[in-house]
Structure 1
Protein backbone atom coordinates (compact mmCIF):
# COMPACT_ATOMS: atom_id res chain seq x y z
CA UNK A 1 0.00 0.00 0.00
CA UNK A 2 1.44 3.36 -1.10
CA UNK A 3 0.72 5.44 1.96
CA UNK A 4 1.95 8.66 0.37
CA UNK A 5 -0.47 8.27 -2.53
CA UNK A 6 -3.32 7.96 -0.01
CA UNK A 7 -2.07 10.68 2.31
CA UNK A 8 -2.17 13.42 -0.32
CA UNK A 9 -5.93 13.12 -1.09
CA UNK A 10 -6.51 12.59 2.63
CA UNK A 11 -4.86 15.92 3.46
CA UNK A 12 -6.63 17.74 0.66
CA UNK A 13 -10.05 16.26 1.49
CA UNK A 14 -9.76 17.11 5.19
CA UNK A 15 -8.66 20.67 4.41
CA UNK A 16 -11.58 21.17 2.02
CA UNK A 17 -14.33 19.43 3.99
CA UNK A 18 -13.21 19.22 7.60
CA UNK A 19 -15.30 17.12 9.98
CA UNK A 20 -19.10 17.56 10.13
CA UNK A 21 -20.08 19.79 13.03
CA UNK A 22 -21.92 17.99 15.80
CA UNK A 23 -20.99 14.49 14.61
CA UNK A 24 -19.49 11.96 16.99
CA UNK A 25 -15.70 11.92 16.61
CA UNK A 26 -13.44 8.85 17.18
CA UNK A 27 -11.26 10.88 19.57
CA UNK A 28 -14.26 10.95 21.92
CA UNK A 29 -14.09 7.16 22.16
CA UNK A 30 -10.36 7.34 22.89
CA UNK A 31 -11.01 9.91 25.59
CA UNK A 32 -13.74 7.77 27.15
CA UNK A 33 -11.41 4.74 27.18
CA UNK A 34 -8.60 6.73 28.80
CA UNK A 35 -10.98 8.13 31.43
CA UNK A 36 -12.40 4.69 32.27
CA UNK A 37 -8.98 3.05 32.53
CA UNK A 38 -7.53 5.94 34.54
CA UNK A 39 -10.27 5.69 37.16
CA UNK A 40 -9.57 1.97 37.64
CA UNK A 41 -5.79 1.73 37.24
CA UNK A 42 -4.53 5.01 38.74
CA UNK A 43 -4.23 3.67 42.27
CA UNK A 44 -1.65 2.65 44.82
CA UNK A 45 1.89 3.91 45.23
CA UNK A 46 3.98 5.73 42.63
CA UNK A 47 5.35 2.53 41.07
CA UNK A 48 1.91 0.99 40.68
CA UNK A 49 0.56 4.21 39.15
CA UNK A 50 3.44 4.34 36.68
CA UNK A 51 2.92 0.71 35.69
CA UNK A 52 -0.79 1.43 35.23
CA UNK A 53 0.06 4.32 32.90
CA UNK A 54 2.42 2.10 30.91
CA UNK A 55 -0.31 -0.54 30.64
CA UNK A 56 -2.75 2.10 29.39
CA UNK A 57 -0.23 3.11 26.74
CA UNK A 58 0.01 -0.51 25.66
CA UNK A 59 -3.77 -0.74 25.38
CA UNK A 60 -3.91 2.40 23.23
CA UNK A 61 -1.16 1.24 20.87
CA UNK A 62 -2.62 -2.26 20.63
CA UNK A 63 -6.11 -0.97 19.91
CA UNK A 64 -4.69 1.40 17.27
CA UNK A 65 -2.87 -1.45 15.55
CA UNK A 66 -5.96 -3.68 15.56
CA UNK A 67 -8.41 -1.01 14.36
CA UNK A 68 -6.07 0.57 11.83
CA UNK A 69 -4.74 -2.68 10.45
CA UNK A 70 -8.22 -4.20 10.34
CA UNK A 71 -9.59 -1.20 8.44
CA UNK A 72 -6.80 -1.42 5.87
CA UNK A 73 -7.34 -5.17 5.39
CA UNK A 74 -11.09 -4.79 4.97
CA UNK A 75 -10.61 -1.89 2.54
CA UNK A 76 -8.28 -3.99 0.40
CA UNK A 77 -7.38 -2.34 -2.90
CA UNK A 78 -9.01 -0.35 -5.67
CA UNK A 79 -12.02 1.73 -4.66
CA UNK A 80 -11.83 0.30 -1.14
CA UNK A 81 -8.87 2.56 -0.52
CA UNK A 82 -11.30 5.48 -0.47
CA UNK A 83 -12.39 4.11 2.91
CA UNK A 84 -8.83 4.42 4.18
CA UNK A 85 -8.70 8.02 2.96
CA UNK A 86 -12.07 8.84 4.52
CA UNK A 87 -11.23 7.24 7.87
CA UNK A 88 -7.79 8.84 7.88
CA UNK A 89 -9.24 12.35 7.62
CA UNK A 90 -10.61 11.94 11.15
CA UNK A 91 -7.02 11.98 12.44
CA UNK A 92 -6.14 15.31 10.81
CA UNK A 93 -7.06 18.81 11.96
CA UNK A 94 -6.08 21.26 9.21
CA UNK A 95 -9.58 22.61 8.67
CA UNK A 96 -10.74 22.59 12.28
CA UNK A 97 -7.58 24.37 13.42
CA UNK A 98 -8.04 27.02 10.72
CA UNK A 99 -11.71 27.42 11.68
CA UNK A 100 -10.96 27.82 15.39
CA UNK A 101 -8.22 30.40 14.84
CA UNK A 102 -10.34 32.37 12.36
CA UNK A 103 -13.04 32.41 15.03
CA UNK A 104 -10.56 34.25 17.26
CA UNK A 105 -9.34 36.57 14.51
CA UNK A 106 -12.78 37.86 13.49
CA UNK A 107 -13.75 39.48 16.81
CA UNK A 108 -10.17 40.48 17.57
CA UNK A 109 -9.86 42.37 14.29
CA UNK A 110 -13.27 43.99 14.93
CA UNK A 111 -12.22 45.23 18.37
CA UNK A 112 -14.53 42.80 20.17
CA UNK A 113 -12.12 41.74 22.91
CA UNK A 114 -14.67 39.79 25.03
CA UNK A 115 -15.68 37.80 21.94
CA UNK A 116 -12.04 37.11 21.09
CA UNK A 117 -11.38 35.96 24.66
CA UNK A 118 -14.30 33.54 24.50
CA UNK A 119 -13.13 32.17 21.16
CA UNK A 120 -9.50 31.67 22.21
CA UNK A 121 -10.66 29.92 25.40
CA UNK A 122 -11.86 27.11 23.11
CA UNK A 123 -8.32 26.28 21.99
CA UNK A 124 -6.03 27.06 24.95
CA UNK A 125 -5.89 25.96 28.57
CA UNK A 126 -4.69 29.22 30.11
CA UNK A 127 -6.97 31.76 31.78
CA UNK A 128 -8.33 34.10 29.10
CA UNK A 129 -10.80 36.42 30.83
CA UNK A 130 -8.22 39.17 31.49
CA UNK A 131 -6.16 38.91 28.29
CA UNK A 132 -5.61 42.06 26.27
CA UNK A 133 -5.33 42.07 22.46
CA UNK A 134 -1.69 40.99 22.55
CA UNK A 135 -2.49 38.23 25.04
CA UNK A 136 -5.29 36.85 22.88
CA UNK A 137 -3.17 37.02 19.71
CA UNK A 138 -0.23 35.37 21.49
CA UNK A 139 -2.37 32.51 22.79
CA UNK A 140 -3.95 31.91 19.37
CA UNK A 141 -0.62 32.04 17.49
CA UNK A 142 1.07 29.68 19.94
CA UNK A 143 -1.83 27.23 19.71
CA UNK A 144 -1.83 27.46 15.91
CA UNK A 145 1.90 26.76 15.67
CA UNK A 146 1.98 23.90 18.17
CA UNK A 147 -1.21 22.32 16.84
CA UNK A 148 0.23 22.40 13.32
CA UNK A 149 2.60 19.75 14.63
CA UNK A 150 0.17 17.82 16.85
CA UNK A 151 -2.85 17.94 14.57
CA UNK A 152 -1.37 17.95 11.07
CA UNK A 153 2.29 17.04 10.66
CA UNK A 154 2.57 14.33 13.32
CA UNK A 155 -0.46 12.27 12.23
CA UNK A 156 0.54 12.70 8.57
CA UNK A 157 4.11 11.62 9.38
CA UNK A 158 2.99 8.46 11.17
CA UNK A 159 0.45 7.57 8.49
CA UNK A 160 3.21 7.91 5.94
CA UNK A 161 5.38 5.47 7.91
CA UNK A 162 2.85 3.00 9.33
CA UNK A 163 -0.52 3.67 7.72
CA UNK A 164 -3.71 3.89 9.76
CA UNK A 165 -2.20 2.06 12.78
CA UNK A 166 0.48 4.74 13.01
CA UNK A 167 -1.98 7.61 12.58
CA UNK A 168 -4.40 6.15 15.15
CA UNK A 169 -1.59 5.52 17.64
CA UNK A 170 -0.24 9.06 17.26
CA UNK A 171 -3.69 10.56 17.87
CA UNK A 172 -4.38 8.27 20.82
CA UNK A 173 -1.05 9.12 22.45
CA UNK A 174 -1.61 12.83 21.89
CA UNK A 175 -5.09 12.56 23.43
CA UNK A 176 -3.69 10.69 26.42
CA UNK A 177 -1.00 13.33 26.90
CA UNK A 178 -3.59 16.12 26.82
CA UNK A 179 -5.75 14.30 29.41
CA UNK A 180 -3.24 12.79 31.84
CA UNK A 181 0.20 13.99 30.75
CA UNK A 182 0.21 17.14 32.88
CA UNK A 183 2.30 17.08 36.04
CA UNK A 184 -0.63 17.37 38.45
CA UNK A 185 -0.54 15.47 41.76
CA UNK A 186 -3.09 12.95 40.45
CA UNK A 187 -1.35 12.26 37.15
CA UNK A 188 2.30 12.81 38.03
CA UNK A 189 3.14 9.11 37.83
CA UNK A 190 0.18 7.65 35.94
CA UNK A 191 0.61 10.13 33.09
CA UNK A 192 4.39 9.72 32.88
CA UNK A 193 4.31 7.14 30.06
CA UNK A 194 1.79 9.13 27.99
CA UNK A 195 3.86 12.31 28.29
CA UNK A 196 7.11 10.56 27.35
CA UNK A 197 5.43 8.74 24.45
CA UNK A 198 4.00 12.00 23.14
CA UNK A 199 7.48 13.55 23.28
CA UNK A 200 8.82 10.65 21.23
CA UNK A 201 5.97 10.61 18.69
CA UNK A 202 6.32 14.34 18.05
CA UNK A 203 10.13 14.66 18.12
CA UNK A 204 10.72 14.54 14.35
CA UNK A 205 7.34 16.05 13.34
CA UNK A 206 7.98 19.07 15.59
CA UNK A 207 11.24 19.87 13.85
CA UNK A 208 9.70 19.28 10.43
CA UNK A 209 6.85 21.61 11.44
CA UNK A 210 9.36 24.30 12.33
CA UNK A 211 11.10 23.93 8.98
CA UNK A 212 7.80 24.15 7.09
CA UNK A 213 6.75 27.27 9.00
CA UNK A 214 10.10 28.95 8.32
CA UNK A 215 9.78 28.12 4.63
CA UNK A 216 6.19 29.34 4.53
CA UNK A 217 7.04 32.53 6.42
CA UNK A 218 10.25 33.13 4.48
CA UNK A 219 12.28 33.46 7.65
CA UNK A 220 12.49 32.55 11.30
CA UNK A 221 15.39 30.11 11.05
CA UNK A 222 17.67 31.94 13.47
CA UNK A 223 14.90 32.41 16.02
CA UNK A 224 13.88 28.76 15.81
CA UNK A 225 17.42 27.47 16.28
CA UNK A 226 18.14 29.94 19.07
CA UNK A 227 14.92 29.84 21.10
CA UNK A 228 13.30 26.42 20.58
CA UNK A 229 15.39 24.84 23.33
CA UNK A 230 14.12 27.36 25.90
CA UNK A 231 10.56 26.02 25.69
CA UNK A 232 9.36 23.77 28.52
CA UNK A 233 8.48 21.11 25.94
CA UNK A 234 11.23 19.37 23.97
CA UNK A 235 9.02 19.74 20.89
CA UNK A 236 6.63 22.67 21.30
CA UNK A 237 9.36 25.26 21.00
CA UNK A 238 10.23 24.36 17.41
CA UNK A 239 7.01 25.38 15.64
CA UNK A 240 6.32 28.20 18.10
CA UNK A 241 9.80 29.72 17.80
CA UNK A 242 9.65 29.33 14.02
CA UNK A 243 6.35 31.21 13.93
CA UNK A 244 7.69 33.93 16.25
CA UNK A 245 10.68 34.39 13.97
CA UNK A 246 8.61 34.41 10.79
CA UNK A 247 6.34 37.09 12.29
CA UNK A 248 9.24 39.06 13.85
CA UNK A 249 7.31 39.23 17.11
CA UNK A 250 7.63 37.95 20.67
CA UNK A 251 5.64 34.98 21.94
CA UNK A 252 5.55 33.43 25.40
CA UNK A 253 5.81 35.32 28.64
CA UNK A 254 3.63 35.40 31.79
CA UNK A 255 0.30 33.57 31.78
CA UNK A 256 -1.94 31.98 34.39
CA UNK A 257 -3.64 28.60 34.67
CA UNK A 258 -6.56 28.25 37.11
CA UNK A 259 -5.53 31.62 38.61
CA UNK A 260 -2.01 30.36 39.28
CA UNK A 261 0.72 32.50 37.62
CA UNK A 262 3.11 30.74 35.25
CA UNK A 263 5.90 31.80 32.93
CA UNK A 264 6.20 30.54 29.37
CA UNK A 265 9.54 30.78 27.59
CA UNK A 266 10.16 34.00 25.66
CA UNK A 267 10.36 33.15 21.96
CA UNK A 268 11.45 35.65 19.34
CA UNK A 269 12.25 39.32 19.47
CA UNK A 270 10.13 42.31 18.61
CA UNK A 271 6.77 43.71 19.62
CA UNK A 272 3.91 41.69 21.06
CA UNK A 273 1.54 40.40 18.36
CA UNK A 274 -1.83 41.85 17.48
CA UNK A 275 -4.73 41.03 15.18
CA UNK A 276 -2.68 41.71 12.03
CA UNK A 277 0.01 39.29 13.20
CA UNK A 278 -2.60 36.63 13.87
CA UNK A 279 -3.89 37.08 10.31
CA UNK A 280 -0.33 36.70 9.00
CA UNK A 281 0.16 33.59 11.14
CA UNK A 282 -2.92 32.03 9.55
CA UNK A 283 -1.55 32.74 6.07
CA UNK A 284 1.80 31.20 7.02
CA UNK A 285 0.01 28.16 8.42
CA UNK A 286 -1.96 27.66 5.21
CA UNK A 287 1.16 27.92 3.06
CA UNK A 288 2.91 25.43 5.37
CA UNK A 289 0.03 23.00 4.88
CA UNK A 290 0.37 23.31 1.09
CA UNK A 291 4.12 22.74 1.37
CA UNK A 292 3.37 19.55 3.30
CA UNK A 293 1.07 18.46 0.47
CA UNK A 294 3.83 19.08 -2.07
CA UNK A 295 6.31 17.02 -0.07
CA UNK A 296 3.84 14.16 0.25
CA UNK A 297 3.05 14.39 -3.46
CA UNK A 298 6.76 14.23 -4.27
CA UNK A 299 7.18 11.12 -2.11
CA UNK A 300 4.13 9.51 -3.75
CA UNK A 301 5.55 10.24 -7.22
CA UNK A 302 8.95 8.78 -6.33
CA UNK A 303 7.52 5.68 -4.61
Structure 2
Protein backbone atom coordinates (compact mmCIF):
# COMPACT_ATOMS: atom_id res chain seq x y z
CA UNK A 1 0.00 0.00 0.00
CA UNK A 2 1.49 3.42 -0.92
CA UNK A 3 2.48 5.52 2.09
CA UNK A 4 -0.08 8.23 1.33
CA UNK A 5 -2.87 5.65 1.12
CA UNK A 6 -1.77 4.09 4.39
CA UNK A 7 -1.69 7.49 6.11
CA UNK A 8 -5.11 8.44 4.77
CA UNK A 9 -6.65 5.26 6.20
CA UNK A 10 -6.89 6.89 9.63
CA UNK A 11 -8.42 10.26 10.42
CA UNK A 12 -5.12 12.02 11.18
CA UNK A 13 -5.39 15.53 12.68
CA UNK A 14 -9.18 15.48 12.19
CA UNK A 15 -9.38 12.42 14.43
CA UNK A 16 -7.05 14.06 16.96
CA UNK A 17 -9.26 17.14 16.98
CA UNK A 18 -12.31 14.93 17.49
CA UNK A 19 -10.60 13.18 20.39
CA UNK A 20 -9.67 16.50 21.98
CA UNK A 21 -13.24 17.78 21.67
CA UNK A 22 -14.71 14.54 23.04
CA UNK A 23 -12.35 14.49 26.02
CA UNK A 24 -12.98 18.16 26.81
CA UNK A 25 -16.71 17.54 26.75
CA UNK A 26 -16.86 14.19 28.55
CA UNK A 27 -13.57 13.43 30.27
CA UNK A 28 -13.51 9.92 31.72
CA UNK A 29 -16.55 9.85 34.04
CA UNK A 30 -15.95 8.59 37.57
CA UNK A 31 -18.96 6.27 37.28
CA UNK A 32 -17.40 4.66 34.22
CA UNK A 33 -14.01 4.41 35.93
CA UNK A 34 -15.58 2.49 38.82
CA UNK A 35 -17.00 -0.08 36.42
CA UNK A 36 -14.26 -0.01 33.80
CA UNK A 37 -10.92 1.30 35.07
CA UNK A 38 -9.11 3.70 32.79
CA UNK A 39 -6.84 1.90 30.26
CA UNK A 40 -3.79 3.53 31.84
CA UNK A 41 -4.59 1.51 34.98
CA UNK A 42 -4.38 -1.67 32.91
CA UNK A 43 -1.10 -0.57 31.34
CA UNK A 44 0.34 0.34 34.73
CA UNK A 45 -0.74 -2.97 36.19
CA UNK A 46 0.98 -4.91 33.41
CA UNK A 47 4.22 -2.93 33.78
CA UNK A 48 4.21 -3.30 37.58
CA UNK A 49 3.57 -7.04 37.35
CA UNK A 50 6.46 -7.57 34.93
CA UNK A 51 8.73 -5.37 37.04
CA UNK A 52 8.03 -7.43 40.15
CA UNK A 53 8.63 -10.64 38.23
CA UNK A 54 11.75 -9.64 36.27
CA UNK A 55 13.53 -6.85 38.16
CA UNK A 56 15.35 -9.03 40.69
CA UNK A 57 18.14 -7.48 42.73
CA UNK A 58 20.42 -10.47 42.15
CA UNK A 59 20.44 -10.03 38.37
CA UNK A 60 23.14 -8.07 36.60
CA UNK A 61 22.50 -4.54 35.40
CA UNK A 62 22.77 -5.70 31.79
CA UNK A 63 20.15 -8.42 32.31
CA UNK A 64 17.82 -6.02 34.13
CA UNK A 65 18.21 -3.48 31.33
CA UNK A 66 17.37 -6.16 28.75
CA UNK A 67 14.33 -7.33 30.70
CA UNK A 68 13.19 -3.72 31.18
CA UNK A 69 13.41 -3.18 27.43
CA UNK A 70 11.47 -6.41 26.88
CA UNK A 71 8.81 -5.16 29.30
CA UNK A 72 8.29 -2.00 27.28
CA UNK A 73 8.28 -3.85 23.96
CA UNK A 74 5.63 -6.27 25.25
CA UNK A 75 3.39 -3.67 26.87
CA UNK A 76 3.74 -0.99 24.19
CA UNK A 77 3.35 -3.62 21.48
CA UNK A 78 0.18 -4.97 23.09
CA UNK A 79 -1.18 -1.41 23.45
CA UNK A 80 -0.39 -0.63 19.80
CA UNK A 81 -2.01 -3.88 18.66
CA UNK A 82 -5.15 -3.07 20.66
CA UNK A 83 -5.27 0.35 19.04
CA UNK A 84 -4.83 -1.13 15.56
CA UNK A 85 -7.61 -3.68 16.10
CA UNK A 86 -9.95 -1.07 17.55
CA UNK A 87 -9.26 1.34 14.71
CA UNK A 88 -10.00 -1.41 12.21
CA UNK A 89 -13.42 -1.93 13.77
CA UNK A 90 -14.29 1.76 13.28
CA UNK A 91 -12.88 2.22 9.77
CA UNK A 92 -15.53 2.74 7.12
CA UNK A 93 -18.43 2.27 9.55
CA UNK A 94 -21.31 4.71 10.03
CA UNK A 95 -20.35 7.12 12.80
CA UNK A 96 -16.84 5.66 12.64
CA UNK A 97 -15.19 9.04 13.23
CA UNK A 98 -17.37 9.60 16.30
CA UNK A 99 -16.41 6.19 17.69
CA UNK A 100 -12.75 6.92 16.86
CA UNK A 101 -12.94 10.24 18.73
CA UNK A 102 -14.52 8.62 21.78
CA UNK A 103 -11.86 5.90 21.85
CA UNK A 104 -9.11 8.47 21.38
CA UNK A 105 -10.43 10.60 24.24
CA UNK A 106 -9.27 8.04 26.81
CA UNK A 107 -5.65 8.86 25.93
CA UNK A 108 -6.05 12.62 26.44
CA UNK A 109 -6.26 14.57 29.69
CA UNK A 110 -7.29 18.18 29.00
CA UNK A 111 -10.34 18.10 31.25
CA UNK A 112 -8.91 15.99 34.04
CA UNK A 113 -5.76 18.12 34.25
CA UNK A 114 -7.82 21.30 34.41
CA UNK A 115 -10.09 19.82 37.09
CA UNK A 116 -7.16 18.71 39.26
CA UNK A 117 -5.43 22.09 39.16
CA UNK A 118 -8.74 23.92 39.61
CA UNK A 119 -9.28 21.90 42.80
CA UNK A 120 -5.95 23.20 44.14
CA UNK A 121 -6.96 26.73 43.23
CA UNK A 122 -10.37 26.41 44.90
CA UNK A 123 -8.81 25.16 48.14
CA UNK A 124 -6.25 27.96 48.27
CA UNK A 125 -8.85 30.59 47.39
CA UNK A 126 -10.91 29.32 50.33
CA UNK A 127 -7.88 29.61 52.63
CA UNK A 128 -7.86 25.85 53.22
CA UNK A 129 -4.15 25.02 52.98
CA UNK A 130 -4.47 21.37 54.11
CA UNK A 131 -7.03 20.77 51.33
CA UNK A 132 -4.71 22.53 48.88
CA UNK A 133 -1.84 20.26 49.89
CA UNK A 134 -4.05 17.21 49.53
CA UNK A 135 -5.25 18.32 46.09
CA UNK A 136 -1.78 19.06 44.77
CA UNK A 137 -0.55 15.76 46.19
CA UNK A 138 -2.81 14.07 43.63
CA UNK A 139 -0.77 15.45 40.72
CA UNK A 140 2.83 15.78 41.99
CA UNK A 141 5.35 13.30 43.34
CA UNK A 142 7.02 15.54 45.91
CA UNK A 143 6.33 15.70 49.64
CA UNK A 144 3.52 18.17 50.25
CA UNK A 145 2.95 18.06 54.02
CA UNK A 146 5.08 21.13 54.80
CA UNK A 147 4.36 23.25 51.73
CA UNK A 148 3.10 26.80 52.16
CA UNK A 149 0.37 28.26 49.96
CA UNK A 150 2.84 29.74 47.48
CA UNK A 151 4.75 26.47 47.28
CA UNK A 152 1.51 24.56 46.67
CA UNK A 153 0.69 27.00 43.84
CA UNK A 154 4.19 26.58 42.38
CA UNK A 155 3.90 22.78 42.45
CA UNK A 156 0.50 22.95 40.72
CA UNK A 157 1.82 25.31 38.03
CA UNK A 158 4.83 23.08 37.36
CA UNK A 159 2.56 20.04 37.03
CA UNK A 160 0.15 21.99 34.81
CA UNK A 161 2.98 22.97 32.46
CA UNK A 162 4.63 19.55 32.27
CA UNK A 163 1.32 17.70 31.98
CA UNK A 164 0.17 20.04 29.22
CA UNK A 165 2.73 18.17 27.18
CA UNK A 166 2.48 14.66 28.65
CA UNK A 167 -1.31 14.60 28.88
CA UNK A 168 -2.43 16.79 26.00
CA UNK A 169 0.06 17.85 23.32
CA UNK A 170 2.16 14.68 23.05
CA UNK A 171 -0.75 12.20 22.94
CA UNK A 172 -2.57 14.41 20.42
CA UNK A 173 0.62 14.58 18.33
CA UNK A 174 1.00 10.79 18.22
CA UNK A 175 -2.72 10.32 17.67
CA UNK A 176 -2.58 12.60 14.63
CA UNK A 177 0.50 10.87 13.20
CA UNK A 178 -0.24 7.26 14.11
CA UNK A 179 -3.94 6.96 14.84
CA UNK A 180 -5.04 4.89 17.83
CA UNK A 181 -1.94 2.65 17.63
CA UNK A 182 0.32 5.70 17.91
CA UNK A 183 -1.69 7.11 20.80
CA UNK A 184 -1.80 3.84 22.73
CA UNK A 185 1.93 3.19 22.25
CA UNK A 186 2.68 6.68 23.56
CA UNK A 187 0.49 6.16 26.62
CA UNK A 188 2.24 2.85 27.36
CA UNK A 189 5.68 4.43 27.06
CA UNK A 190 4.73 7.48 29.13
CA UNK A 191 3.17 5.30 31.83
CA UNK A 192 6.28 3.12 31.84
CA UNK A 193 8.48 6.17 32.33
CA UNK A 194 6.30 7.34 35.24
CA UNK A 195 6.44 3.94 36.95
CA UNK A 196 9.96 2.64 36.31
CA UNK A 197 11.91 5.33 34.45
CA UNK A 198 13.64 6.54 37.62
CA UNK A 199 17.29 6.99 38.58
CA UNK A 200 17.01 5.28 41.96
CA UNK A 201 19.03 2.06 42.22
CA UNK A 202 16.00 -0.24 42.00
CA UNK A 203 14.87 1.15 38.62
CA UNK A 204 18.03 2.62 37.10
CA UNK A 205 18.79 -0.35 34.83
CA UNK A 206 15.33 -1.87 34.48
CA UNK A 207 13.68 1.45 33.64
CA UNK A 208 16.37 2.67 31.24
CA UNK A 209 14.46 1.70 28.09
CA UNK A 210 11.22 3.27 29.33
CA UNK A 211 12.96 6.55 30.15
CA UNK A 212 14.83 6.73 26.83
CA UNK A 213 11.73 5.83 24.79
CA UNK A 214 9.74 8.50 26.61
CA UNK A 215 12.48 11.06 25.94
CA UNK A 216 12.38 10.23 22.24
CA UNK A 217 8.59 10.31 21.90
CA UNK A 218 8.38 13.67 23.68
CA UNK A 219 11.23 15.34 21.81
CA UNK A 220 9.03 17.26 19.35
CA UNK A 221 5.80 17.55 21.40
CA UNK A 222 7.50 19.11 24.43
CA UNK A 223 8.90 21.91 22.32
CA UNK A 224 5.53 22.41 20.66
CA UNK A 225 3.89 22.58 24.09
CA UNK A 226 6.36 25.20 25.26
CA UNK A 227 5.84 27.25 22.11
CA UNK A 228 2.06 27.10 22.49
CA UNK A 229 2.32 28.39 26.06
CA UNK A 230 4.47 31.28 24.85
CA UNK A 231 2.09 32.05 21.98
CA UNK A 232 -0.91 31.89 24.30
CA UNK A 233 0.72 34.41 26.63
CA UNK A 234 2.35 36.52 23.91
CA UNK A 235 5.54 36.20 25.94
CA UNK A 236 7.93 33.86 27.71
CA UNK A 237 9.90 32.74 24.65
CA UNK A 238 13.17 34.28 25.85
CA UNK A 239 12.95 32.54 29.21
CA UNK A 240 12.02 29.22 27.60
CA UNK A 241 14.94 29.29 25.17
CA UNK A 242 17.35 30.29 27.93
CA UNK A 243 16.21 28.03 30.77
CA UNK A 244 14.64 24.92 29.22
CA UNK A 245 17.92 23.00 28.99
CA UNK A 246 18.60 23.44 32.70
CA UNK A 247 16.14 20.65 33.48
CA UNK A 248 17.53 17.15 34.03
CA UNK A 249 15.00 15.92 31.46
CA UNK A 250 15.63 16.84 27.82
CA UNK A 251 11.94 17.66 27.45
CA UNK A 252 10.23 18.64 30.70
CA UNK A 253 12.04 21.97 30.93
CA UNK A 254 10.45 23.37 27.77
CA UNK A 255 6.84 23.76 28.94
CA UNK A 256 7.92 24.49 32.51
CA UNK A 257 10.30 27.28 31.53
CA UNK A 258 7.68 28.59 29.11
CA UNK A 259 5.13 28.75 31.94
CA UNK A 260 7.57 30.56 34.20
CA UNK A 261 8.36 33.11 31.52
CA UNK A 262 4.75 33.53 30.43
CA UNK A 263 3.53 34.20 34.00
CA UNK A 264 6.67 36.14 34.98
CA UNK A 265 7.21 33.93 38.03
CA UNK A 266 10.02 31.67 39.23
CA UNK A 267 9.47 27.91 39.11
CA UNK A 268 11.65 24.98 40.09
CA UNK A 269 14.13 25.11 42.95
CA UNK A 270 14.60 22.71 45.89
CA UNK A 271 11.86 20.18 46.68
CA UNK A 272 11.56 17.14 48.93
CA UNK A 273 10.86 13.67 47.55
CA UNK A 274 10.38 10.83 50.04
CA UNK A 275 12.00 12.95 52.73
CA UNK A 276 15.13 13.75 50.70
CA UNK A 277 15.86 17.31 49.58
CA UNK A 278 16.46 17.48 45.82
CA UNK A 279 18.14 20.54 44.31
CA UNK A 280 16.33 21.37 41.08
CA UNK A 281 17.14 24.13 38.58
CA UNK A 282 15.16 27.36 38.63
CA UNK A 283 13.20 28.69 35.68
CA UNK A 284 12.38 32.35 35.15
CA UNK A 285 13.44 35.61 36.75
CA UNK A 286 10.17 36.63 38.42
CA UNK A 287 8.84 36.44 41.95
CA UNK A 288 7.82 33.17 43.63
CA UNK A 289 4.28 32.11 42.66
CA UNK A 290 1.30 33.06 44.77
CA UNK A 291 -2.07 31.36 45.10
CA UNK A 292 -3.59 33.97 42.78
CA UNK A 293 -1.26 32.86 39.97
CA UNK A 294 -3.15 29.57 39.61
CA UNK A 295 -6.07 31.32 37.95
CA UNK A 296 -3.69 32.98 35.49
CA UNK A 297 -2.04 29.65 34.80
CA UNK A 298 -5.35 27.92 34.14
CA UNK A 299 -6.45 30.65 31.73
CA UNK A 300 -3.14 30.31 29.91
CA UNK A 301 -3.61 26.55 29.79
CA UNK A 302 -7.04 26.92 28.18
CA UNK A 303 -5.58 29.24 25.56
CA UNK A 304 -2.83 26.70 24.88
CA UNK A 305 -5.43 23.96 24.40
CA UNK A 306 -7.34 26.24 22.00
CA UNK A 307 -4.16 26.75 19.97
CA UNK A 308 -3.71 22.99 19.79
CA UNK A 309 -7.26 22.61 18.47
CA UNK A 310 -6.53 25.25 15.83
CA UNK A 311 -3.32 23.45 14.85
CA UNK A 312 -5.16 20.16 14.46
CA UNK A 313 -7.91 21.82 12.43
CA UNK A 314 -5.30 23.32 10.10
CA UNK A 315 -3.57 19.95 9.85
CA UNK A 316 -6.85 18.27 8.96
CA UNK A 317 -7.20 20.52 5.91
CA UNK A 318 -3.77 19.44 4.65
CA UNK A 319 -4.03 15.72 5.54
CA UNK A 320 -3.85 13.31 2.55
CA UNK A 321 -7.23 12.03 1.36
TM-score of Structure 1 vs Structure 2, range by shorter chain: over 0.9
Counterparts of 1:14-93 in structure 2 under 5 Å?
Answer: 14-22=23-31, 23=33, 24-43=37-56, 44-77=59-92, 78-93=94-109
**Alpha-carbon contact 2:47-2:71 (below 8 Å) kept:** yes
2:199 paired with 1:183: yes
Q: TM-score, structure 1 length as denominator?
A: 0.98
Structure 1 distance, partners of 2:11, 2:188, is 23
Query: Size of the alignment, in residue pairs?
Result: 303
2:210 paired with 1:197: no
Cα distance, 1:184 vs structure 2: 1.5
Structure 1 distance, partners of 2:80, 2:125, is 44
**Alpha-carbon contact 1:220-1:243 (below 8 Å) kept:** yes
4+ runs of 1 displaced by more than 4 Å? none
Structure 1 distance, partners of 2:194, 2:232, is 28
Residue in 1 that maps onto 2:16: 7
Structure 2 distance, partners of 1:33, 1:7, is 26
CA RMSD of aligned residues (A): 0.9
Cα distance, 1:66 vs structure 2: 1.0
- For 1:186, what is the secondary structure of its paired residue? helix
Residue in 2 that maps onto 1:114: 130
Counterparts of 1:220-239 in structure 2 under 5 Å?
Answer: 220-239=236-255
5+ residue gaps in structure 2?
1-9
- For 2:202, what is the secondary structure of its paired residue? coil
Q: TM-score, structure 2 length as denominator?
A: 0.93
Which of 154, 163, 179 is equivalent to 2:179? 163
Structure 2 distance, partners of 1:35, 1:253, is 31
**Alpha-carbon contact 1:18-1:93 (below 8 Å) kept:** yes
Cα distance, 1:80 vs structure 2: 2.4
**Alpha-carbon contact 1:154-1:205 (below 8 Å) kept:** yes
5+ residue gaps in structure 1?
none
Structure 1 distance, partners of 2:233, 2:83, is 35
Structure 2 distance, partners of 1:8, 1:183, is 36
**Alpha-carbon contact 2:129-2:149 (below 8 Å) kept:** yes
